[in-house]
Amino acid sequence: MHPPTGNKPRMTRIARMKKIRVIRVIRAICGSCFFLVALSLLCTSARGDGGALRLSQRIGGRMVSVFTSPTPLRAGRVDVSVYVQDAASADPIGRAEVFVTAAPLDRHGESIRRRATVDQATNKLFQAAEFDLPEAGRWRFSIEADDPRQPGALSFEADLAGPPPRWRALAPWIGWPWLVIAAFISRQFLLHHSSNFRLKRLRKL
Residues lying near another protein in the complex (CB under 8 A) are found at 39, 42-43, 45-50, 52-53, 56, 63, 65, 70-71, 83, 85, 89-92, 94, 122-125, 166, 170, 173-174, 176-177, 180-181, 184, 187, 190-192, 194
Where residue 157 falls (left for φ over 0; alpha for ψ -120 to 50; beta otherwise) is beta
Q: For another protein, give the closer residue by CB, 115 or 187.
A: 187
- What does the alpha-carbon distance between residue 116 and residue 195 come to, in Å, rounded to a whole number? 62
The nearest distance, CB 18 to another protein, in angstroms, is 18
Q: For another protein, give the closer residue by CB, 60 or 106.
A: 60
What sign for the dihedral angle of Cα 49, 52, 54, 57?
positive
Element (H, E) at 101: strand 97-104
The nearest distance, CB 106 to another protein, in angstroms, is 26
Q: For another protein, give the closer residue by CB, 47 or 113.
A: 47
Rounding to the nearest 10 degrees, give the CA dihedral for residues 114, 120, 123, 128: -10
The nearest distance, CB 191 to another protein, in angstroms, is 5
The nearest distance, CB 11 to another protein, in angstroms, is 15
Q: For another protein, give the closer residue by CB, 113 or 134.
A: 134
Q: Give yes or no for a contact between 62 and 145, defined as CB atoms under 8 angstroms apart.
A: yes
